[in-house]
Structure 1
């Protein structure tokens, strides 16, 4: 029974990581790059000021601790009043809402889950 629980936890965690990676590739990699270093293909055609962040350095810049909640809030985009800089980045907290059910508890819960999965994926990109 214990092995089943461990296997299920691993499978669930792996599925969440895969989902986070897929959403990252869809919504983030164009600017931040598949490797998270801020070198996505959009930089060749769209001038960005400031340039996309190197997401592999977030923990290093935060004293060695990955700033999970800050990353979640940044991906979501609804918490802070946007600056001109922020307008270059999508507000996934609204973009990921289920059409026709926007901002319902069910839609918000699914958006939260997807954003947290993306943040976990970004966490996996951290350089040691």
Structure 2
């Protein structure tokens, strides 16, 4: 097996993940916005201000996602937002979250979609979480 073919699946997966991230970051946040409306708006509200239809059911009001940069000295907390959405790595200092572990839920959805050699369910999950993060970054006040 040539070196080129040996690494082709890994390269293809990387390119697809990068394309998903670039697509979301190249001023087209449609997919991230669509994911937000389908999965997040029920708690965070259509305008991401923490006022979704079920927000009042929680002990702690869902965050106003339009002010994440404001609450972080003007810089969008990209990594923290990614980890919070993914949710598979609990940070003890952040306490217990009532937010679903989207990484696990997206992983369950991704398994049937892994039909392309070299593209894993984890690649699909990362692309979807990145799309959400880039969308949230785009709506900061």
What TM-score, normalized by structure 1, do the two folds share?
0.76
* Equivalent in the alignment of 2:73: 63
Task: Give the Å deviation of 1:79.
Answer: 1.1
- Kindly report structure 1 stretches of 4+ aligned residues shifted beyond 6 Å: none
Question: Larger Cα Rg: Structure 1 or Structure 2?
Answer: 2
What TM-score, normalized by structure 2, do the two folds share?
0.70
Matched residue count? 112
1:115 matched to 2:132: no
Distance 2:129 2:66 in 1: 17
Match of 1:74 among 62, 74, 84: 84
Distance 2:73 2:41 in 1: 25
Task: Give the Å deviation of 1:81.
Answer: 5.1
- Secondary structure of 2:33 counterpart: helix
CA 1:121/1:70 → structure 2, altered by over 3 Å: closer, same or farther? same
CA 1:84/1:58 → structure 2, altered by over 3 Å: closer, same or farther? closer
Unaligned runs of 5+ in 2: 1-21
Q: How large is the Cα RMSD of the aligned pairs?
A: 2.5
Distance 2:91 2:136 in 1: 23
